[in-house]
């Protein structure tokens, strides 16, 4: 198989986009409902992704509202898949890369699929004002692949919080919550369809969180329609 764009960009000293390497992470994913992949992108690859994200951020639309379906706030700016298609070729190429999908499917232990909804396939989420937050929710599709471009220091908020394998939103403030404060270039693969999660509020106005979120469906969720897509990314 010829080289893919994702395999050219990934930190090849640490990761290989093969089914075999994905299978090695499956047990951890099955038990914890996530895998954390530090330094997945670095050096010139991370710099390239950062330039793409910075260009896309200029077309972001501000979203300040309460999602009625979850009764949780969305205070953030977003760029949907249609806008990304218009301004970036790199992010769609990575998302549709068969080797990346093969790798993630092996981690999940089931075949995963890209989704067509431009409000869910690949989006840029931006938190950039004090108290900005992506409130607690469970995704429509089975998994999300998060590529971290820019994040505040841990003491400034904006960490990802989730309760593995639990969909009850109240548990996001309970003792079982997992808190991840990644760095630029890190990736997180989360079973977002059965794991309640949120981005904790920013605590200062002088920081910013830029993350590319990509949805992947399994057989069960492939035909579903997202409840939040139009409101958050339309």
Give the chain's domain count. 1
Torsion region of 128: left, alpha or beta (phi above 0 gives left; psi -120 to 50 gives alpha): alpha
The reply to whether 229 falls in a domain is no
Q: Judge whether residue 190 has pLDDT over 80.
A: yes
Residue with tokens 């999300």: 144
Is residue 230 a part of any domain in this protein? no
Instruction: Give domain status of residue 166, yes or no.
Output: yes
* Residue 21 belongs to domain spanning: 5-223
Name the DSSP letter for residue 202.
B
* Mean of pLDDT over the chain: 96
**What's the confidence (pLDDT) of residue 233?**
96
pTM exceeding 0.75: yes
| Tokens, residue 227 | 């409840």
* pLDDT value for 200: 98
In a domain, 158, yes or no: yes
Classify residue 140: in a domain, yes or no: yes
How many angstroms separate the CA atoms of 2 and 125, rounded? Answer: 32
Instruction: Read off the pLDDT of residues 65-97 as tens digits, 9 standing for 90 and up.
Output: 999 999 999 999 999 999 999 999 999 999 999
Q: What share of the chain has pLDDT > 90, as a percent?
A: 97
Q: What average pLDDT score do residues 30-57 get? A: 98
Backbone angles phi, psi at 158, to 5 degrees: 80, 15
Q: Which two tokens stand for residue 187?
A: 């990736």
Q: What span, in angstroms and rounded, lies between the C-alpha atoms of 133 and 119?
A: 18
The verdict on residue 152 lying in a domain is yes
**How does pLDDT run across 133-151, given as a tens digit for each residue?**
999 999 999 999 999 999 9
Q: Token pair of 183, please?
A: 């760095």
Residue 50 burial by Cβ neighbours in a 10 Å radius (0-12, 13-18, 19+): middle
- Asked whether the predicted pLDDT for residue 113 surpasses 70, the reply is yes
Q: 3-class SS at 135?
A: strand
Q: Is there a domain that residue 228 lies in?
A: no
Question: How many CA atoms lie less than 13 Å away from 17 in the CB half-sphere?
Answer: 22
Residue whose tokens read 């300040």: 64
User: Which of 120, 121, 117, 123 is CA-nearest to residue 61?
Assistant: 123
- For residue 1, the model assigns a pLDDT of 42
Q: Is residue 233 part of a domain?
A: no
Please state the rounded mean pLDDT for residues 32-38: 98
Instruction: Assign residue 121 the CATH number of its domain.
Output: 2.60.120.620
C-alpha dihedral (141, 40, 150, 46), degrees to nearest 10 = -120
Q: What mean pLDDT comes out for the span 215-227?
A: 96
- Mean pLDDT to the nearest integer, 145-164: 98
Share of the chain above pLDDT 70, in %: 99
């Amino acid at each position: 198989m010829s080289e893919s764009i994702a395999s050219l960009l990934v930190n090849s000293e640490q990761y290989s986009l093969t089914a075999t390497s994905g299978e090695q992470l499956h047990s951890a994913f099955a038990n914890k409902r996530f895998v954390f992949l530090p330094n997945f992108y670095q050096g010139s690859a991370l710099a390239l992704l950062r330039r793409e994200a910075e260009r896309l951020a200029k077309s972001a639309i501000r979203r300040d509202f309460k999602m009625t379906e979850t009764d949780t706030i969305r205070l953030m700016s977003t760029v949907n898949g249609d806008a990304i298609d218009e301004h970036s070729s790199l992010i769609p190429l990575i998302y549709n890369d068969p080797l990346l999908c093969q790798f993630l499917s092996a981690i999940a232990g089931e075949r995963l699929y890209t989704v067509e909804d431009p409000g869910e396939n690949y989006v840029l989420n931006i938190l950039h004002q004090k108290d900005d937050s992506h409130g607690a929710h469970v995704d429509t599709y089975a998994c999300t692949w998060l590529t971290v471009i820019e994040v505040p220091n841990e003491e400034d908020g904006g960490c990802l919080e989730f309760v593995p394998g639990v969909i009850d939103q109240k548990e996001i403030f309970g003792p079982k919550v997992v808190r991840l404060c990644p760095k630029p270039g890190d990736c997180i693969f989360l079973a977002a369809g059965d794991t309640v999660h949120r981005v904790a509020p920013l605590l200062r106005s002088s920081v910013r969180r830029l993350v590319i979120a990509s949805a992947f469906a399994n057989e069960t969720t492939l035909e579903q329609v997202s409840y939040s897509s139009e409101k958050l990314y339309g």
